[in-house]
Structure 1
């Protein structure tokens, strides 16, 4: 793995302000602003949320839509790119719904970020702080998300927990 990578992980619960905080972090970085959108827009609520996020970011961001192969898209970025991946939770949901093994894809994604000279900010939900879900699929997802977050945190140079719009540096 390369020592030149720069990865920041931003964790938070739903509506915690993590995406806005991550966008502000990217805005502080010099270079070309890139946004990797992982969500599949399957309903009107998701379309509205994506439109709000896009309007908030403005026109100086280049959007890359990738719901499954984050390794491939992250490998295309390099020096001078400040990349926001939003979010790991939607990406993991896509893989789970497609019945695809997430672990090899996560390892390839991490390797691609580490091999890159771009700077990455990755947003992910902390889904373990709430109530234990009442069904098998939700509990399985919660365990998978926790494992993914641990891998992302281990690979990251910095990790922040955002709650009520306020960041707390964990690493």
Structure 2
């Protein structure tokens, strides 16, 4: 990972990495590796919901892959800021931003207010943080209003985070591409 590794002394936005990519691109695996390079414990903040049996199986599979050694898994689909504040001094992986956004939209929450609170919470953290998001803007224009809104909100959310954090990676075929690296050497 070279210059994308995290340091235990990274804090606030300076200690944040945004990892974007498509489905099954390897972004979660890379993100987990960045965090586990630090001393345990680590918080895995999962935003997915088991809406059906297949998704339930996926969640179980991800838990088993990660194992329990060192990880504290917290499943929170909406109030991610609460978890981030409760674990402000523990390295944290939020997987994923786009599922969090989906949950906000489906619950008809105020996305702009949630994003503003999220950014304030992120800046106040005292431990390294890795944020995972699905890049959904590379495909076709969605055919329905909700899907188009989701795509637009995801793009805005990722841009806002990318503007403020020092490191942004894009992952394709398991390979990370550094989009931004403003970490002092």
TM-score (norm. length: structure 2)? 0.87
In structure 1, the residue matched to 2:80 is 70
In structure 2, the residue matched to 1:15 is 24
Counterparts of 1:142-161 in structure 2, within 5 Å, are: 142-161=151-170
Instruction: Indicate how the Cα distance of structure 1 residues 78 and 100 shifts in structure 2: closer, same or farther if over 3 A, else same.
Output: closer
Distance (Å, rounded) in 2 between the aligned partners of 1:157 and 1:41:
33
Distance apart, 1:155 and its partner CA: 2.2
Matched, 1:4 2:11: yes
Distance apart, 1:4 and its partner CA: 3.2
Instruction: Indicate how the Cα distance of structure 1 residues 114 and 31 shifts in structure 2: closer, same or farther if over 3 A, else same.
Output: farther
CA RMSD for the aligned pairs? Answer: 1.3
| Alignment gaps of 5+ in structure 2 | 1-9, 181-185
Distance apart, 1:151 and its partner CA: 1.0
Distance (Å, rounded) in 1 between the aligned partners of 2:53 and 2:35:
27
Distance (Å, rounded) in 2 between the aligned partners of 1:17 and 1:65:
21
Q: Does the 8 Å contact 1:71/1:109 carry over to 2?
A: yes
Distance (Å, rounded) in 1 between the aligned partners of 2:86 and 2:74:
11
1:62-81 deviation line (CA, Å, top 9, x unaligned):
011111111111111233x1
List structure 1 runs of 4+ shifted beyond 2 angstroms: none
TM-score (norm. length: structure 1)? 0.94
Q: Secondary structure at the match of 1:75?
A: helix
| Alignment gaps of 5+ in structure 1 | none
Q: Does the 8 Å contact 2:11/2:128 carry over to 1?
A: no
Distance apart, 1:50 and its partner CA: 1.1
Q: Which moved more, 1:123-132 or 1:37-46?
A: 37-46
Q: Which moved more, 1:156-165 or 1:23-32?
A: 23-32
Equivalenced residues, count: 168
In structure 2, the residue matched to 1:40 is 49
